[in-house]
Structures are given as structure tokens and as C-alpha cells.
A and B are shown apart, each in its own frame.
Chain A
Amino acid sequence: MDINEELKKIIVKELFLEDITWNEIDDDAPLFGEGLGLDSLDAVELVVIIQKYFNVEIKDMDEGRIAFQSINSLASFIKERQSS
């Protein structure tokens, strides 16, 4: 499974997005505000999710803001952290 698909499935499951399926999430769509419409509580939950599933730490929300822009940006962030 590629990382984008894995991320989408995890997000739908862990954030209880019952009205959407993983393959409906656009790789480039904003995760917060418009697009998927996540909020600040989802953001901190995502930090824990990334730690739990990918063992990648997000130290603060300044880092988070960059990583969480879209599925693509999150996938790049994780890949980069895992290789370093």
C-alpha cells in the first residue's frame, strides 16, 4: 500500500470521517478549513496518529502547519523524517 493510501485510510478511521471514503480524498486538497474541513482538535489528534502509525514526531504546531497542508505534504514530511 502506498503511503498516501495508507494515510487516507488511517485518517478516515481515526478521525471518524463516516461520510467520506478514503479514495474520495484528494491528494492535494487542504485538510483543514476547506477541503476535508478538519479543525484544531483534529490537528493534535493527527500528531498522535503520525507518532503511533509512522513513529514520526511533530514537535509543535508550527511544524504541523506545514506538514498538514494536504495528504501529499504529509506523506513527504513522513518520508523525509523516516529516512533521516
Chain B
Amino acid sequence: MNRNSPVAITGIGCLSAAGMSLKENMTFLFSGKRHASPPERFTSSHPLHYPVFEILKDSFPGNNPEYKDILRTCRLGLAAANEALQDAGLVPEGITGLKVGVCIGTTVGSTMTDEEFYRNFRSGLRPDMRMIERFLRSNPASVIAREFAFKGPSQTVVNACSSGTDAIGIGTSWIRSGMCDIVIAGGADELCRVTYNGFISLMITDDSPCRPFDRDRKGLNLGEGAAILILESDRVLRNREKPARAFVLGYGSACDGYHLTAPSPEGKGLRNALTDALLESGKTAGDIAFINAHGTATKDNDRTEAMVLREILPGVPFFSTKGYTGHTLGAAGAIEAAFTVACLESGMIPANAGFSEPDPELGVSPVKDITGISGKVALSDSLAFGGYNAALVLGLERG
């Protein structure tokens, strides 16, 4: 199996607070606007209100009444999958004869945290079991496979904040090995009260809109969304004479082995992940047009990440898009991979929303304005709790 062979991306779907399709998202990113506000769909008794990036629109494919029996995370994933399949020119009924796998990253989407159920359980009341039934029906990868009658492997990746990046990386292995002809790969996560309280308790959230890589950054804002990339084998692609939108050229994954919630101060794992992704892609730092950074706006993440990017990819422009979408956890890596492809296609990268003052400790700053780029290869990276690090090298061409 050749780890170095590029894997075609033939369709992309994306939803976030910045837009209900990839096109809408990109328009928003280049508008320089951002909408962060306290959560509307749930309340919290915290004295401070921490802004989130919430999808307030009720109507999106997958959020119609017939899907009420699955969790919101799955409905977001379905919406992105629908857009991606359409973008790829694939009709699900037309590909059921192929080996189609589904690999989706998530965090909230696989946790049994129904608060109402648990409160009733604790009080000795007889809780409504439909909430549990809904949870048992809501494994994100299984939901997509079931919806479109795909028969290949299903895998829900729960690598915390790098899940989306890892799901795409795993999907490329499935294609390269010949195990799958097509992989629906990406991530999905919904905003949820339990996660909101959890991140606030870690004191890494900002009570104003987040400021990735800024000197005065105080922490992250949570967001929700989903993105799906259709990965396709060369054999299938040749048969249907459809050009690929882009290619996954390389994937790297490595752990810090340092701490459950803080990244290794030397960025050990991130270094390894970036190096491995570049090696697999056959590209060097000089080939990389830009980096879509993880940039959560926490003190620790941005410090570690900036240090490593500065050393491994010196002079390469970078930016975080979390100022537009919030930190979408399991969906983040996939949403950012989608943005990376779209930026390569348009030859432009957005400003790093929320950044104004350089941090002397970082030694580098992200792009402050919309910037033209001419290269055809870019990199997207993610860092996660547990000390996980992952990176994708994406390119418009095969070589």
C-alpha cells in the first residue's frame, strides 16, 4: 500500500455559524464579520455569559421533522454529507454497489450526557427512555451509513479536538488500501450545555469574542457545525470522468505523552505530526502556501502552536478561522480542511479574525488582512486534549 499516493477529494459540504454551505461560509470569512453571542438554545447559571458560535437557523437538510429521533450532531453531519455528495455529483443510490465507508469525528455526538434524563434518574423519577433510544440511534458515522445505505466500514473517531482531521486521515488510509472505493470523511459536533460548562470550568474560555494568537487572548469560544469531504479512489474517479476538487497529499498524527489538557510546551507531538504529514506528501515547507492553524485563542495552545509553526514552517502565512466559527471540537479539523481547499481554489486567505496585537512571546503573527496566495498546497493542523496532534497536507493537484 503506497502511503504517498494522493487521495482525491471530489465533494465538500460545510455548515457552521458562518454559513449553511461551504460557499456561504467562505463568503462570510472574507466579509470580515463575525457573530458571537451568548447561547440561545440553552441557559447557564454562570454569572458571566461566554459567547458561542451557534447555528441559529432551524432549517437545514437533516433538520426536518423526520430526523427528530437522532441527535443534533447527526443532523448537522447529514446536512454536510448531503451537500458534499451533491457537490461530488454522486447520487447515493448510484453508489451502493461500491465499497463506501464513513469516518466521522465528534465529541458531543458520542457522549451519553442527556441532562434531563439523568436529573430524573437521580431523583428516582421514571425518566423517559426515548432520550436513550435517541442516543443509541445517534452514532454519527452509523447515521450517515444508514441514511444512504452504505455497506462499508463505519468509524466514529473521538480524538477530542483533532477528531475531524484524524477522520479524514483515516479515510485516506481506507482508500489507499483498496478497502474502500469512496469514504465520507469529516466531523460534526453540536453546542451543548454540558460541554459549555466543562470548558468554562477549565478556565480556558473567553467572555468576549476570541482572539487567536493575540497578545491579550483569554481563551476559546465554543461553536458547532459539520464538514464532510468525499474521498474517492482513482479507479472510481476515472470511471466517471469527474475531476477532483483537491487531494489529500499527506496526513500526520502524533501524541505528546505529556498532559491530559495542556499541550507539551516544546510542541513535541505537533512537530512530529507536521513533519510526518509533509514527509508523506513529498512536500517541503517551501511548497506550503499557508497554514490553517488550530488557533483556539487559549494561552497554551497558541503559544505552543506558534512556536512550532515558526520553526517548522518559517515565513509561511498562517491564520485561525476559529474567530469566525468558534471551536467546533470534533468538527473543527474537518471544517478547517474544507476552508483550506476553498482558499486554495480562490487563491485567497482570510484575515485571522480577533487578532490585533502581536504577542512578543510568540515571535510570529497571523495574517491580519485578506491576502492573495499563489501556491497550490496548504496545511491544516489540530491539537487536542490528551496531547493529540494531527495535520493534513492538501493540494489542488496530484503532485
Contact = CB atoms under 8 A, between A and B. Distances in A.
The listed residue with most B CB atoms (<10 A of its CB), out of A44, A47, A60, is A44
Contacts of A40: 259, 261-262
A60 B203 contact: yes
A38 interface: no
The listed residue with most A CB atoms (<10 A of its CB), out of B203, B218, B261, is B203
B201 A48 contact: yes
Contacts of B260: 41
Interface string A48-84: 1000000001001100000000000000000000000
Contacts of B201: 44, 48
B203 A44 contact: yes
Nearest to A40: B262
Contacts of A28: none
Contacts of B47: 57
B259 to A, nearest CB: 7
B202 interface: yes
A44 B259 contact: no
Interface in A8-53: 39-41, 44, 47-48
A47 B259 contact: no
Contacts of B262: 40-41
Chain A: number of interface residues, binned into ranges: under 10
Contacts of A41: 259-262
Nearest to A64: B203
A60 B202 CA distance: 11
A60 B298 CA distance: 13
A17 B53 CA distance: 39
Nearest to A41: B261
A61 B261 contact: no
A39 B203 CA distance: 14
Contacts of A57: 47
Interface in B181-209: 201-203
A47 B228 CA distance: 39
A61 B259 contact: no
Contacts of B202: 44
A57 B200 CA distance: 14
Contacts of B218: 60
Contacts of B203: 44, 47, 60-61
Interface in B215-274: 218, 259-262
A30 to B, nearest CB: 19
A57 B203 CA distance: 12
A44 B262 CA distance: 12
A49 to B, nearest CB: 11
Contacts of A44: 201-203
13 contacts: A39-B259, A40-B259, A40-B261, A41-B259, A41-B260, A41-B261, A41-B262, A44-B202, A44-B203, A47-B203, A57-B47, A60-B203, A61-B203
Interface of A: 39-41, 44, 47-48, 57, 60-61
Complex A-B, nearest 5 residue pairs according to Cβ-Cβ distance, in ascending order: A44-B203, A44-B202, A40-B262, A41-B261, A48-B201
